[in-house]
């Protein structure tokens, strides 16, 4: 540690301002694999249990142990849960990054740090709280091997004292975190208390940050988007799940496996009404999911960018042979391997048109755990209704971070299994042609393998085919089929979930966003309004192909800012392709692609700059 080699930075001791209650962010800097995740979740949950709106974001390396990791918790009484750029309260546990962590803080921030790091020598304008973690942990954790893991939870006790977190809530959160390990819960509880006692006796409070009990989280849950999507799939009757491990989507399949084992095993026979297969790669996971969809099962896979690239050929087959399947893409930063543990909305264009030739694929774009749950259900209905691959576009921020959410509503609608003919239907019709557009909506009738009727069989292929599913190279057969698929696109458009719209009458500018950008955008609109008096209308896209409401929204505003979490403005590009030429000039772009969840200030500043304000 070289923190004392240079002169301290700052303008003198901080002046204590007024109390700042339930409106600040805490960042914990630790080393990956040191047990800090438990300590952070207990902290998050304690605040949540105190009724304070809270969000937690894990900024972690692509590594299992040893590299720096940061966990940011934001409390906000107004309910803003997007990322906040500035850190107000730092817990510096990692010698590697401590100096830089502290130098990045805004003046007046508070720092709890591991005493030997001597961070108080780095700056003069912060509130410093040195804590001898090693000294405190020794008596409460006699087993030297466990000390490294228990050491971190001590800062929960220290923060409880400094911020006013109720110890009872920390205890409850601990029991939840270690529900299957009562011994670990006790050990950690002792450490929390030791931290609290130390702080009470040795750390006079000088910073302005406090938490106070509220009533804003009653009836809510805390959940990751991946778990919500997994639950949505479970309650939507998914029966074949094929996947290949990849960050940040693995936990979707893993959580799904846990819930399926608990809730989808027949109690009498002990048999499973689901099959979950970890495939050899993404080529196989999508192939299996398609095979299962073809044979009539509700099937899905979950992946991220590199997996999407590998699935490209099969997804084209799924589109062309018209096979239902649901693909969850938990987006991470690309291109290539990119930043596997950082978030982005970088696969929008790739998924919308994945594979060679003329294709399109419907996408559902959730922004919250509630929508992950609901849209998972919708995706299985749409896949079978439209007989085509459906993408559900999460991102790492939504999928892997913990979010406050309303309790999920129990779905009551029957599954929509689409146009499937059984043996009796075939007898009644007397004729079956797999790719004939009987209803004029571009969606044809299909039969499932195993249907006991000599009319049922057809040949599924990725090569050119006529209405009777026979191989054909005739230009008219090919064109007719492609035109019908285009008709299906129109049908799909009407079935996509409508956007969320907040139209403000006096607003001449509008914002269009999708997915997790929502949380920063909501806050940004308030900033624009309160700081500059700038009123904005708002539209959040929830599905592709786009609903016509989007065009009406653009028509109703002079300038429309489309906010993207990618470099090339992918949402903008997709909307522009749909937009009448005379309205294209109204479209403007706000882009962020640093890998962290977008924050409100980035949006606000970009809009103000473009507005010349």
Partner 1 sequence: MSTAAAPPPKKVNRIGLELKQYRGLKTTLCAGCGHNSISERIIECCFEMGIDPQRVIKLSGIGCSSKSPAYFLNTSHAFNAVHGRMPSVATGAMLANHKLIALGVTGDGDSASIGIGQFVHLMRRNLPIIYVIEDNGCYGLTKGQFSATADLGSTLKTGVANDLPPIDTCALAIELGATFVARSFSGDKKQLQSILKAGLSHHGTVMIDVISPCVTFNDHSGSTKSYSYVRDHRHDLNAVDFVPFFDEIHVEDEIEPGELREVTLHDGSTLLLKKIEEGYDPSDMMAAVKTLHEHAQRGQVLTGVFYVNTEKSDFIELLNLTDAPLWQVSESNGGRPQESALAEIMEELS
Distance CA 193, CA 346 (A): 45
Site for partner 1 in 54-93 (CB under 8 A): none
Stretch of 119-127, 280-288, 327-335, 472-480 contacting partner 1, by CB under 8 A: 280-288
Site for partner 1 in 151-170 (CB under 8 A): none
Minimum CB distance to partner 1 smaller for 145 or for 262 = 262
As measured in angstroms, the least distance from the Cβ of 488 to partner 1 is: 21
- Does residue 473 belong to the site contacting partner 1 (CB under 8 A)? no
CA distances from residue 324 to 289, 296, 303, 419, 450 in whole angstroms, order as listed: 9, 8, 17, 11, 17
String of DSSP letters for 479-530: HHHHHHHHHHHHHHHHHSPPPEEE--TT--EEEEEETTHHHHHHHHHHHHHH
As measured in angstroms, the least distance from the Cβ of 318 to partner 1 is: 10
Distance CA 369, CA 355 (A): 29
Which pair of structure tokens corresponds to residue 320? 């062309």
Q: What angle do CA 282, 383, 311 make, to 5 degrees?
A: 20
Neighbours of 203 (CB within 10 A): 17
Distance CA 499, CA 514 (A): 9
Site for partner 1 in 434-463 (CB under 8 A): 447-454, 456-463
Stretch of 161-169, 290-298, 483-491, 536-544 contacting partner 1, by CB under 8 A: 290-298
The one-character DSSP state at 132 is -
- Does residue 277 belong to the site contacting partner 1 (CB under 8 A)? yes
Rg (CA), the chain: 27
Minimum CB distance to partner 1 smaller for 20 or for 272 = 272
Minimum CB distance to partner 1 smaller for 216 or for 221 = 221
Residue 198: helix, strand or coil by DSSP? helix
* Peptide bond connecting 335 to the previous residue in cis, omega within 30 degrees of 0: yes
Site for partner 1 in 129-148 (CB under 8 A): none
- Does residue 294 belong to the site contacting partner 1 (CB under 8 A)? yes
As measured in angstroms, the least distance from the Cβ of 578 to partner 1 is: 30
Which pair of structure tokens corresponds to residue 258? 């846990």
Minimum CB distance to partner 1 smaller for 226 or for 517 = 226
Q: Give residue 66's Cα distance to chain centre.
A: 25
Distance CA 62, CA 56 (A): 19
Q: Give residue 405's Cα distance to chain centre.
A: 13
As measured in angstroms, the least distance from the Cβ of 192 to partner 1 is: 22
Minimum CB distance to partner 1 smaller for 12 or for 410 = 410
As measured in angstroms, the least distance from the Cβ of 289 to partner 1 is: 6
The one-character DSSP state at 465 is B
- Does residue 268 belong to the site contacting partner 1 (CB under 8 A)? no
Minimum CB distance to partner 1 smaller for 214 or for 277 = 277
Minimum CB distance to partner 1 smaller for 221 or for 339 = 221
As measured in angstroms, the least distance from the Cβ of 72 to partner 1 is: 21
Letter string b/e over residues 489-517, b meaning 16 or more CB atoms within 10 A of that residue's CB: bebbbeebbebebeeeeebebbbbbbbbb
As measured in angstroms, the least distance from the Cβ of 246 to partner 1 is: 17
Binding mask 394-433 for partner 1 (x = CB under 8 A): -------------xx-xx--xx-x----------------
As measured in angstroms, the least distance from the Cβ of 402 to partner 1 is: 10
As measured in angstroms, the least distance from the Cβ of 263 to partner 1 is: 4
Minimum CB distance to partner 1 smaller for 478 or for 593 = 478
Minimum CB distance to partner 1 smaller for 438 or for 457 = 457
Largest CA distance in the chain: 89
Q: Which of 471, 508, 548, 577 lies at the binding interface for partner 1 (CB under 8 A)?
A: 471
Contact of 433 with 467, CB cutoff 8 Å: yes
As measured in angstroms, the least distance from the Cβ of 79 to partner 1 is: 17
As measured in angstroms, the least distance from the Cβ of 470 to partner 1 is: 8
As measured in angstroms, the least distance from the Cβ of 399 to partner 1 is: 16
Minimum CB distance to partner 1 smaller for 186 or for 280 = 280
Minimum CB distance to partner 1 smaller for 1 or for 457 = 457
As measured in angstroms, the least distance from the Cβ of 311 to partner 1 is: 11
* Peptide bond connecting 161 to the previous residue in cis, omega within 30 degrees of 0: no
- Does residue 601 belong to the site contacting partner 1 (CB under 8 A)? no
What residues have CB less than 8 Å from 291, skipping those under 6 apart? none
Q: Which of 167, 185, 283, 551 lies at the binding interface for partner 1 (CB under 8 A)?
A: 283
Distance CA 513, CA 520 (A): 10
Binding mask 307-336 for partner 1 (x = CB under 8 A): ------xx--x-------------------
CA distances from residue 414 to 259, 305, 380, 385, 454 in whole angstroms, order as listed: 21, 32, 12, 13, 30
As measured in angstroms, the least distance from the Cβ of 176 to partner 1 is: 8
Q: Which of 271, 336, 530, 585 lies at the binding interface for partner 1 (CB under 8 A)?
A: 271
Q: Which of 132, 291, 338, 595 lies at the binding interface for partner 1 (CB under 8 A)?
A: 291
- Does residue 185 belong to the site contacting partner 1 (CB under 8 A)? no
In the block, residue with structure tokens 């007397």: 430
Neighbours of 86 (CB within 10 A): 13
Q: Which of 117, 122, 246, 297 lies at the binding interface for partner 1 (CB under 8 A)?
A: 297
Pairing mode, strands 20-21 and 209-210: parallel
Site for partner 1 in 192-221 (CB under 8 A): 219-221
Minimum CB distance to partner 1 smaller for 154 or for 404 = 404
With CB under 8 A, what is the number of residues at the site for partner 1? 72
Distance CA 581, CA 602 (A): 29
Contact of 92 with 29, CB cutoff 8 Å: yes
Neighbours of 83 (CB within 10 A): 25
Minimum CB distance to partner 1 smaller for 251 or for 600 = 251
- Does residue 287 belong to the site contacting partner 1 (CB under 8 A)? yes
Question: Crossing angle for the helix pair 250-263 and 225-235, nearest 10 degrees?
Answer: 40
- Does residue 175 belong to the site contacting partner 1 (CB under 8 A)? no
Instruction: Find residue 277's DSSP bridge partners.
Output: 242
Contact of 461 with 322, CB cutoff 8 Å: no
- Does residue 272 belong to the site contacting partner 1 (CB under 8 A)? yes
Site for partner 1 in 237-266 (CB under 8 A): 237, 239-240, 242, 259, 263-264, 266
- Does residue 274 belong to the site contacting partner 1 (CB under 8 A)? yes
Neighbours of 7 (CB within 10 A): 9
């Amino acid at each position: 540690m070289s923190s004392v080699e240079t002169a301290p930075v700052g303008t003198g001791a901080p002046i204590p301002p007024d109390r700042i209650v339930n409106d600040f962010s805490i960042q914990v800097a630790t080393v990956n694999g040191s047990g800090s995740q438990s300590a952070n979740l207990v902290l998050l949950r304690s605040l949540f249990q105190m009724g304070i709106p809270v969000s937690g974001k894990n900024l972690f390396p692509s590594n299992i142990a040893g590299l720096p990791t940061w966990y940011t918790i934001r409390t906000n009484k107004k309910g803003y849960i997007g990322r906040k750029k500035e850190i107000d309260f730092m817990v510096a546990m990692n010698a590697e990054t401590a100096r830089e962590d502290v130098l990045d803080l805004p003046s007046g921030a508070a720092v709890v740090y591991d005493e030997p790091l001597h961070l108080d020598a780095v700056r003069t304008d912060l509130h410093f709280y040195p804590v001898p973690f090693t000294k405190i942990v020794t008596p409460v954790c006699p087993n030297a091997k466990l000390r490294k893991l228990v050491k971190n939870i001590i800062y929960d006790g220290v923060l409880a004292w400094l911020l006013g977190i109720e110890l009872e809530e920390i205890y409850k959160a601990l029991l939840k975190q270690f529900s299957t390990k009562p011994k670990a819960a006790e050990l950690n509880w002792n450490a929390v208390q030791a931290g609290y006692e130390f702080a009470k006796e040795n750390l006079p409070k000088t910073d302005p940050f406090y938490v106070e009990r509220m009533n804003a989280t009653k009836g809510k849950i805390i959940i990751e988007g991946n778990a919500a999507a997994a639950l949505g799939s479970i309650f939507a009757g998914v029966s074949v799940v094929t996947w290949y491990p990849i960050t940040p989507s693995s936990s979707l399949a893993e959580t799904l496996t846990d819930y399926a084992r608990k809730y989808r095993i027949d109690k009498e026979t002990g048999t499973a009404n689901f099959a979950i297969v970890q495939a050899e790669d993404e080529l196989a996971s999508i192939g299996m999911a398609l095979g299962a969809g073809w044979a009539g099962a509700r099937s899905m896979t979950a992946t991220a960018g590199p997996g999407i690239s590998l699935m490209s050929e099969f997804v084209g087959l799924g589109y062309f042979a018209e096979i239902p399947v649901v693909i969850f893409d938990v987006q991470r930063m690309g291109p290539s391997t990119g930043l596997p543990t950082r978030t982005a909305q970088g696969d929008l264009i790739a998924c919308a048109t994945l594979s060679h030739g003329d294709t399109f694929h419907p996408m559902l774009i959730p922004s919250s755990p509630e929508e992950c749950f609901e849209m998972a259900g919708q995706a299985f209905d749409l896949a079978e209704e439209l007989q085509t691959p459906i993408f559900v576009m999460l991102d790492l921020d939504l999928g892997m971070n913990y979010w406050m959410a309303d309790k999920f509503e129990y779905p009551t609608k029957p599954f929509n299994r689409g146009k499937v003919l059984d043996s009796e239907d075939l007898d009644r019709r007397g004729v079956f042609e797999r790719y004939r557009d009987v209803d004029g909506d571009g969606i044809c009738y299909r039969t499932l393998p195993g249907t006991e009727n000599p009319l049922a069989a057809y040949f599924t292929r990725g090569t050119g085919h006529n209405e009777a599913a026979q191989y054909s190279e005739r230009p008219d057969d090919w064109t007719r089929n492609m035109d019908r698929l285009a008709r299906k696109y129109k049908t799909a458009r009407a079935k996509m979930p409508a956007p969320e719209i907040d139209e403000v009458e006096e607003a001449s500018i509008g914002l269009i966003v999708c997915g997790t950008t929502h949380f920063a955008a909501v806050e940004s609109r308030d900033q624009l309004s309160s700081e500059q008096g700038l009123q904005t209308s708002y539209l959040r896209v929830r599905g592709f192909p786009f609903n016509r409401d989007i065009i009406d929204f653009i028509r109703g505003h002079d300038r429309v800012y489309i906010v993207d979490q990618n470099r090339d403005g992918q949402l903008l590009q997709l909307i522009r392709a749909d937009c009448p030429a005379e309205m294209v000039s109204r479209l403007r772009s706000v882009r962020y692609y640093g890998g962290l969840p977008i924050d409100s200030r980035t949006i606000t500043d970009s809009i103000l700059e473009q507005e010349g304000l």
